[in-house]
Structure 1
Amino acid sequence: MNIVLTPLLALLLGLAGALSVGLFFWGVYLMTRKSDVAGDFVIEPPKKKQDGTFVLHRVTELIGRPFGPMVMDWIGEEQQARIRLRIDSAGRPEGLTVRRYAQRKAGEVLLYGGVGLFFLFDGSPVFAVVILAFSLLTDISLYSAKQQRQDEIQKQLPDFLDVLAVTVGSGLAFRQALSRVADSMPGVLASEFRFALHQMELGTSRREAFGALRRRNSNESLGRFVTALQQAEELGAPLSQTLQSIGQDMRREDAQYLRRRAQRLNPRVTGVTAATMLPGLLLLIGGGMFIGSDIDLSAIFG
């Protein structure tokens, strides 16, 4: 006896499968978690609504909220540290935290996995693969935000270093000069230095704070600036002269960076131009040849 799956039946089967998987993992979590005592409960302040959160992220975060603690327990402390570093590298978009990231990923797996199963049972594997690709939406958004952030840092770094060199040369201490320049030149780079200054105020050494700054950002120019600054501090070189020389090097690096970006854009522009103009050009030439040849297709098309 052959069973024909209607679209409605396939949708119900997909949603039932996603619900079964979610209930299974939730039951495993309840069986393996440790018992809570009254002293372990912590009252958290109410969270402010994130107005800039993407609507799909809101939906998946709401769906995965019950499974957030379970995911946090499963990934472990080491993986949480890696996720936190990725979020910091992207600039903590939309106030994202590791817990909210875990909730989003759980919601994406349940939501897009269920819809993907529906299209798979409906006989549309291509649509199923496309829907399942949406489960990487949070990671893609973090990667995109990180790349944009590094581009902005590359643009702001030479001017920031020039102003910092002048401020240090006027007689201010390095930490005071860095704080004043960061307040007077708002932007991505200034927020990174303010975060490093906040770490130093909490007791972190300058080397550790700037080392964390370098790990959060993959920008090569910023990494060289941190390395040169630490070497100047160890060797006792004049800080103002060091900053001026670093600023000049950064401007040359910025020009080379822009040239490399322009060279990478040339093949993309060529590919887009060919993909958009070539089909129309072939259609125009082929249509003109067909009309000009007076071919009679009545025998073929009846």
Structure 2
Amino acid sequence: MDGVILSAILLFWLFLVLSFLNLYSYSKSKETLKVHLNEVALTQAMIREKKRSLFDRMIMFLSRYADDFSAIGERINFYSESPDVEVLLTKAGKPYGLTVARFQGFKIVCVILGFIIGTFLFILGFPFANVLFVTLPFIGFFIPIFLVRGKAKKRQEQLRRDLPDFLDTVSISLQAGSGLDGAIKEVISYYIGPIQEEFSRFIQEIELGVPREKAYLEMLNRNDNQDFQNVIKSLIQGSRLGVPVATTFQNQANEMRRISLEQVKEKAAKASPKVTLITSFLIAPLIMLMILGLIILNMIYGEDSIINLFST
């Protein structure tokens, strides 16, 4: 009987020590996660502050008047049909609060602005004012199209850059014992940008009762970045097969960093011939001219110069 009691006491203390060890490990992992999230959030906030330029504020100001011209813009839809605009705005993250109707009206606002600027230049008698008077309205029509295309490209590129850090952070949170939805919800609160927007919408759809696989497919339709699509496809496959998500995230983050490093090396290799070309045709001739100039100056003004030879 005494042996049973002693064994029970020993087991109690053993489990108590193991519990404290697990609690300590969890607290350390959580602290590491918070430090990493704070660093990422600070970096993201600085990037966002730098990107808020005068041009962006001017675009937002002009877009306020776009609703009045949306009907006209929908009729004049060269390279900007409404279904294509909807896809483009979705990939761009609806920049400047643009909807399809507002985008169509914004084209007409830019046409009117181009006409006003062209008229002003024509009255002042600027060179090529006649050409600008005609071309500026056409340029104004296409400015919103190229602007939103550029925003979509930048957003998808930022999504690719932020994804490895996001996956690492979620992986740490999962290893600390959090569930997938809880880990994503906690991590995205520290992010600013497309990562935060996409996964916030995903969590909201899940909480509203949208099937998980359908929410994943909606994320795929909203973004065309290949790395992001690979992550979402792996999540879909993992939810079907029961693969550990933490391991999947960590492996994909490492793979993305490896691919990014290879792309940087490839760009550096492509830049080497360009540097050689510049060196061969610009720097080398300049160096030869400098050496030749020094030789000529030495021949004219040196101790054994031509002037001294004739003077003697």
> What TM-score does the superposition give when structure 1 sets the normalisation length?
0.60
The question of 1:222 aligning with 2:231 is answered no
More helix by share: 2
Q: Are the aligned partners of 2:159 and 2:195 in contact in 1 as well (CA < 8 Å)?
A: yes
Q: Provide the rounded CA distance (Å) in 1 between the counterparts of 2:276 and 2:100.
A: 41
Q: Provide the rounded CA distance (Å) in 1 between the counterparts of 2:151 and 2:113.
A: 24
SS in 1 for 2:209: coil
Q: Which residue of 2 aligns with 1:106?
A: 108
SS in 2 for 1:184: coil
Residue 115 of structure 1 and its aligned partner are, at CA, apart by 6.5
Cα separation, partners in 2 of 1:243 and 1:65, compared to 1, 3 Å: closer
Q: Provide the rounded CA distance (Å) in 2 between the counterparts of 1:207 and 1:74.
A: 38
1:8-56 CA deviation, whole Å, 9 max, x = no partner? xxxxxxxxxxxxxxxxxxxxxxxxxxxxxxxxxxxxxxxxxxx977476
Residue 178 of structure 1 and its aligned partner are, at CA, apart by 0.9
Q: Which residue of 2 aligns with 1:145?
A: 151
Q: Are the aligned partners of 1:65 and 1:107 in contact in 2 as well (CA < 8 Å)?
A: no
What are structure 2's unaligned runs of at least 5 residues? Answer: 1-52, 294-312
Q: Are the aligned partners of 2:175 and 2:246 in contact in 1 as well (CA < 8 Å)?
A: yes
What are structure 1's unaligned runs of at least 5 residues? Answer: 1-50, 289-302
Q: Provide the rounded CA distance (Å) in 1 between the counterparts of 2:226 and 2:219.
A: 12
For 1:84, the aligned partner's letter is E
Written as runs of structure 1 = structure 2, the 5 A alignment for 1:167-186 is 167-186=173-192
Q: Provide the rounded CA distance (Å) in 2 between the counterparts of 1:270 and 1:144.
A: 31
1:215-265 CA deviation, whole Å, 9 max, x = no partner? 322221111111111111112222222222222222212223333454566
Q: Which residue of 2 aligns with 1:238?
A: 244
Residue 91 of structure 1 and its aligned partner are, at CA, apart by 2.4
> What TM-score does the superposition give when structure 2 sets the normalisation length?
0.58
Q: Provide the rounded CA distance (Å) in 2 between the counterparts of 1:206 and 1:217.
A: 17
Residue 81 of structure 1 and its aligned partner are, at CA, apart by 4.3
Q: Which residue of 1 aligns with 2:132?
A: 127
Q: Are the aligned partners of 1:61 and 1:104 in contact in 2 as well (CA < 8 Å)?
A: yes
Q: Which residue of 1 aligns with 2:201?
A: 195
For 2:196, the aligned partner's letter is A
Q: Are the aligned partners of 2:111 and 2:139 in contact in 1 as well (CA < 8 Å)?
A: no
Q: Are the aligned partners of 1:60 and 1:103 in contact in 2 as well (CA < 8 Å)?
A: no
Q: Provide the rounded CA distance (Å) in 2 between the counterparts of 1:127 and 1:181.
A: 51
Structure of higher CA gyration radius: 2
For 2:207, the aligned partner's letter is E
Q: Which residue of 2 aligns with 1:25?
A: none
Q: Which residue of 1 aligns with 2:86?
A: 84
Residue 191 of structure 1 and its aligned partner are, at CA, apart by 2.5
Identity, % of aligned positions: 24
Correspondence for 1:96 among 95, 98, 101: 98
1:175-194 CA deviation, whole Å, 9 max, x = no partner? 11111111134443223211
Residue 157 of structure 1 and its aligned partner are, at CA, apart by 1.2
